[in-house]
A and B are shown apart, each in its own frame.
Chain A
Amino acid sequence: MPFSFLNPWLWLGALALAAPLWLHLRRKQETNLLPFSALRFLDDQPEPRASPWRLRNLVLFVLRALALLALVGAFAWPYVHEGNTAPIKESRVYVLDNTLSHQANDGFGHDRDRILRDLGKAAVDIQVAVVELSSTPRVLVSFGDDRAIAKRKLQELQPSFQRGSYLAAFRQASSLLANSLGGVKRIIFLGDNQENQWNENVNTPPFLRDLEIEMPKAGPPLLPNLSLSEPRVQRIFLGDKSLVNFTVKLSHAGEAKAANIVLRANEQVIFNRAVELEKQPETILLQAQWEAEPALWTRGEVTVEGVPDALAADNRVFFSLAPVVEGKVALLAQSHYLRLALSPEIMRGQWATRVLEPSKLSGELASNQDADVLVLESNYLQSADARKLLFRYLSNGRGVILLVNRLTPAIKGCLHELGFEAEGTVTAGKQNAEKFMFVFSNHPIFHPFLSPDYGNLMDVKVSKYIRLKTSQAMPLVFSEKGNGLFFQGTKTQGKLFVLPFGLDREHSTWPVHQTFIPFLDLTLQTARAEDPTPTNFEPGEVALVQLPAGSPVREVVLRDATMGSPLPSDGREARGEGNAAPAITRAPVEQGRAQVRLPDKPGLYASSYDDRDQIEKVFSINPSPKESQLVYVDASAALKVWQVAESKGQSLKPKVGLPARAKISLAGILQQRLWWWMELAGLGALMLEMVVADLKRRAES
């Protein structure tokens, strides 16, 4: 704090100084002085001179000097922060990029070391803060932290796998500087200038005002990288086999000619082989399938190795697949193929089919024992009960597969309610049957058919179908003539799949095609109501787990389920024997929901309820694929947009104002231990001086 005569502490200190002086003068008695009545007879004697100062009592002098020094010192600088009372010249915020991409070539480590070096060199009149750029930017080091604490926090900081927002980090830094004391306010950005980061928030109103911004030096525009992303896994039943179909994207940038892929599932190596990358697109879709016990959790990971690879942290992805729970199908159809395909002999425990009697639909409605999916042919929609059943399934969030094999006004009306308009029947005949021209292969139903093992969908022919138009459904398959041959409704709560033709030989060859059974199984799987809780997340995200109404669950517990970690239950309820991995997170359930903050480290994490061992879900944590795009820009156009343009005539650099005063607060004063010690020392010296002076006076008298 700058010295000022108007400082009330100065006057208080002066009063404290004057007190011992006054006591001293009061106490001092004139010695060697004799009052006399007849001095007139000695008027020629000399007058006394002012006696020179001489030290009469060393102990008293020392005590008084100590008291004065202690009190003066205490009131001279009552606000000590490790001796730093100088005005702040500069306030500096380091934005440290701690996203996955910045681990390339150990960029994070180098920048962290730079901050540590700067902390050691920075003068006391420079206040430093550090903002960690991650999924949620946070203030790692605040202005109030001393240098030792700041260094410790930085050294403890580990590189993360998260993706963060440059914009959020700069906003955080700007907010810090808005309340800082320095005359110069500076942001030093230590990141990799990833192109997709800067492009994400270009159109943001300016908010950086009167700040100096230092950007990192330009590096190479591109770094070589091998990465894996978007793992997808499904169960497919092919005959007697229960298969797991797995796909993953392999991205490669740079000069890598080959990469070795290793796929592990349930602690078994599914495949381990090299993939040629030369003359391959930048992104390659890898697919694998293997047999897996449907009743068990499937946990797996895929890794890629190759050189050159600037970022190794994105070379591994995780996936999991829940065990099969037998689904229930309600069938209201006459198609023999359909009945056969859904028979227990074919479905073998994946689907339990209950054939509904058209005459007993009212009882079905009354019993309210709906299956997971309703498969019905449109001719049953003539019945009001059937229509009620259809809409009940959809409104309750259950799936419906509707086969439009007949049109009547009633059926048209029902289709209209579902968002479809029937425009007539297309009868191509067997000779001119139309093939599937386009199949939405990215859809979960058709994605496995990218592998030829499940057959070729393009061989399916449809000879008679209803031409449907809709604006409330998504066509997934198109005929040669561009008509939709398979739709997914988007209007209802439950999933609706509509086939504009019947599953019989009259309409199509599909029932006898190789792809029919897998198609049916996948469609049933997709139509079945899913748990709204997703299981694939990026590091640091928050999963919202919803529980049924009235659930007694108190908390959701998260444990490490990466391969190698003990997994106490594989979908079956088991009595725990203490083999479970320790809990990583415990999220309380409030109003039927729990917010589970997922770990930063990629992997598999199992959630359970309370102290039960049964696994409810397995979350797959994989880095964002965007972090693997090591493409950099030199100059950031976004930064120029974010900065408030200076008005004409004003200097671009912020003015260096007067040193700001340190804020005075009682709490700050009370925390000044040195100040209190000096006060006590001064008072102690004063008390001791009084005692010594009193003893001396008594001795003299």
Chain B
Amino acid sequence: MPPAAQTLSERFDPKMLAALEGLDFKARYVMEGFLSGLHDSPFHGFSVEFSDYRNYQPGDDLRHLDWRLFARTDRLCIKRYMQETNVRFYVVCDTSASMQYRGTTAWGSKLECARILAAALTWFLLKQNDAAGMVTLSGGPRVEGQVPSLTTGPRRSTLDSGHPAIPEFIRPSQRPNQFGLILRQLELLRAAGGPCLAELLQHTVRLVHRRSVILFFSDLLEPSDDVALGFKQLRFHGHEVIIFQVLDRDELEFPFTEPKVFEDLETGVRRVVSPAAARETYLERFNAFMAAYQDLFHSLEMSHCVVRTDENPWRALAVFLSERKRLK
């Protein structure tokens, strides 16, 4: 089927994504794939033109005079968009151990999905002359990947080694090397350790001073009470927050059938679970958990988007663009 005739979902090829090496290529694949299909999507009509001018008024800073326009048109205009419409975006990514989970139907782990989305959005923002920055947590030596376990002896723990988490902060900028900077930081992210959302939000509140847009990537698999304060503080400081909740199909639907011993990725606790008997309880609790967060975000007027790792991430991009337009 020719690309033009494909739907967005059809156009997204996880194998292609997996074959691309390098986060920047993956990010561009996602973003450009999204953008190239915009005319087929219900989201057409967005303009990517971002330049805006106003007439020069005495007293304006001559550094912002568009001299080329003057040379062409003899008109004195100030680049208002660049000054007045410059929004700071921050990418905040959850790197707790639960983010490493990858179901059998997912095209990547939750962290991988969040990483690609964050990179894609960063690339887009920088392309649009927006300033992008980043806030993450890095806490000493972390162990990545699957949790190997032994029948005897101490488990090799996925928990943090005990070192306090150190926030990594990249100041928003439009510099040409900003994408590379953020990209490198994204590539260094490793899912390990226990719950850290509250701590991450606190650092974000502390580090982000000016009103900004926070792009928050997490699975939010922590009690909403613990993190509500952070979100409220962000709202209190005037930040706009767009939450991208990355979840796996296994978490959303609990499709397991065989009784197994489940081991929590963050705490290491093991439970013998018979899915047939436990599914209903699980879904009930999970949906309640989701509802609680939705209520929270609704109350805080924060955009909330669920991103499934077994689906294409463009819906999340659409949500973002919609919000961006509103913010402008």
**B252-272 near A? 1/0 per residue, CB < 8 Å:** 000010001111111101111
Q: How far is the CB of B157 from chain A (nearest CB, A)?
A: 12
Q: Is B227 an interface residue (CB 8 A)?
A: no
Decide yes or no: A33 and B260 within 8 Å by CB, A38-B251, A47-B272 being known contacts.
Answer: yes
Which of B147, B151, B272, B286 sits near A35, CB closer than 8 Å? Answer: B147
Which of B98, B100, B148, B260 sits near A38, CB closer than 8 Å? Answer: B98
Contact at A37–B265, with CB atoms within 8 Å?
Answer: yes
Q: Is B149 an interface residue (CB 8 A)?
A: yes
Q: Is A48 an interface residue (CB 8 A)?
A: yes
Chain A binder among B4-12, B277-285, B320-328: B277-285
Contact at A36–B101, with CB atoms within 8 Å?
Answer: yes
Decide yes or no: A42 and B261 within 8 Å by CB, A25-B152, A33-B149, A36-B101 being known contacts.
Answer: no
Q: Is A40 an interface residue (CB 8 A)?
A: yes
Contact at A35–B261, with CB atoms within 8 Å?
Answer: no
Which of B98, B152, B261 sits near A33, CB closer than 8 Å? Answer: B261
Q: Is A647 an interface residue (CB 8 A)?
A: no
B112 neighbours in A (Cβ, 8 Å): none
Which of A28, A36, A37, A46 sits near B151, CB closer than 8 Å? Answer: A28
**B216-258 near A? 1/0 per residue, CB < 8 Å:** 0001010000000000000000000000000010110000100
Contact at B261–A48, with CB atoms within 8 Å?
Answer: yes
Contact at A38–B271, with CB atoms within 8 Å?
Answer: no
Interface members, chain B 180-236 (any A CB < 8 Å): 219, 221
Which of B98, B260, B286 sits near A34, CB closer than 8 Å? Answer: B260
**A25-52 near B? 1/0 per residue, CB < 8 Å:** 1001010111111111111111110000
Bound together, the chains give a CA A397 to CA B99 distance in angstroms of 122
Q: Is B35 an interface residue (CB 8 A)?
A: no
A28 neighbours in B (Cβ, 8 Å): 151
Decide yes or no: A45 and B149 within 8 Å by CB, A35-B101, A38-B221, A39-B262 being known contacts.
Answer: no
Interface members, chain A 1-57 (any B CB < 8 Å): 25, 28, 30, 32-48
Bound together, the chains give a CA A296 to CA B270 distance in angstroms of 116
Bound together, the chains give a CA A42 to CA B269 distance in angstroms of 11
B272 neighbours in A (Cβ, 8 Å): 45-48
Q: How far is the CB of B245 from chain A (nearest CB, A)?
A: 12
Contact at A33–B219, with CB atoms within 8 Å?
Answer: no
B98 neighbours in A (Cβ, 8 Å): 37-38
Decide yes or no: A37 and B266 within 8 Å by CB, A28-B151, A45-B273, A48-B272 being known contacts.
Answer: yes
Interface members, chain B 84-128 (any A CB < 8 Å): 97-101, 110
Bound together, the chains give a CA A34 to CA B248 distance in angstroms of 15
Q: How far is the CB of B97 from chain A (nearest CB, A)?
A: 8
Contact at A34–B282, with CB atoms within 8 Å?
Answer: no
Contact at B273–A42, with CB atoms within 8 Å?
Answer: yes
Q: How far is the CB of A136 from chain B (nearest CB, A)?
A: 71
Contact at A39–B152, with CB atoms within 8 Å?
Answer: no
A35 neighbours in B (Cβ, 8 Å): 101, 146-147, 262-265
| Residue in chain B with minimal CB distance to A30 | B149
A33 neighbours in B (Cβ, 8 Å): 149, 260-261, 263, 270
B281 neighbours in A (Cβ, 8 Å): 41-42, 44
Q: Is B150 an interface residue (CB 8 A)?
A: yes
For A, the interface residue count at a CB cutoff of 8 angstroms equals 20
Contact at A45–B221, with CB atoms within 8 Å?
Answer: no
Q: How far is the CB of B257 from chain A (nearest CB, A)?
A: 12
| Residue in chain B with minimal CB distance to A36 | B262
B273 neighbours in A (Cβ, 8 Å): 42, 45
Q: Is B289 an interface residue (CB 8 A)?
A: yes
Q: How far is the CB of B169 from chain A (nearest CB, A)?
A: 27
B248 neighbours in A (Cβ, 8 Å): 37
Bound together, the chains give a CA A440 to CA B286 distance in angstroms of 140
Which of A25, A37, A42 sits near B271, CB closer than 8 Å? Answer: A42
B149 neighbours in A (Cβ, 8 Å): 30, 33
| Residue in chain A with minimal CB distance to B272 | A48
| Residue in chain B with minimal CB distance to A46 | B272
Interface members, chain B 131-177 (any A CB < 8 Å): 146-152
Q: Which of B146, B248, B272 has the most CB of A within 10 A?
A: B272
B263 neighbours in A (Cβ, 8 Å): 33-36, 39
| Residue in chain B with minimal CB distance to A33 | B261
Which of B100, B146, B264 sits near A39, CB closer than 8 Å? Answer: B264
Contact at B221–A37, with CB atoms within 8 Å?
Answer: yes
| Residue in chain B with minimal CB distance to A41 | B285
Bound together, the chains give a CA A32 to CA B149 distance in angstroms of 11
B101 neighbours in A (Cβ, 8 Å): 35-37
Q: Which of A28, A42, A46, A48 has the most CB of B within 10 A?
A: A42
Q: How far is the CB of B149 from chain A (nearest CB, A)?
A: 5
| Residue in chain A with minimal CB distance to B152 | A25
Contact at B286–A38, with CB atoms within 8 Å?
Answer: yes
Which of A32, A36, A41, A44 sits near B265, CB closer than 8 Å? Answer: A36
> What 7 A-B pairs come out closest when comparing CB atoms?
A37-B98, A37-B101, A39-B264, A45-B271, A41-B285, A36-B262, A34-B260
A-B contact pairs, 30 of them (CB 8 A): A30-B150, A30-B151, A32-B261, A33-B149, A33-B270, A34-B262, A34-B263, A35-B146, A35-B147, A35-B264, A36-B262, A36-B264, A37-B97, A37-B99, A37-B110, A37-B221, A37-B248, A37-B251, A37-B265, A38-B221, A39-B262, A39-B264, A39-B269, A40-B221, A42-B262, A42-B271, A45-B271, A45-B278, A46-B272, A47-B272
Which of B's residues lie within 8 Å of A, judged by CB? 97-101, 110, 146-152, 219, 221, 248, 250-251, 256, 260-267, 269-273, 278, 281-282, 285-286, 289
Q: A33-B260, A41-B289 are in contact. List 9 more A-B contacts (CB 8 A).
A: A32-B261, A35-B146, A37-B100, A37-B110, A38-B286, A39-B262, A45-B271, A46-B271, A47-B271
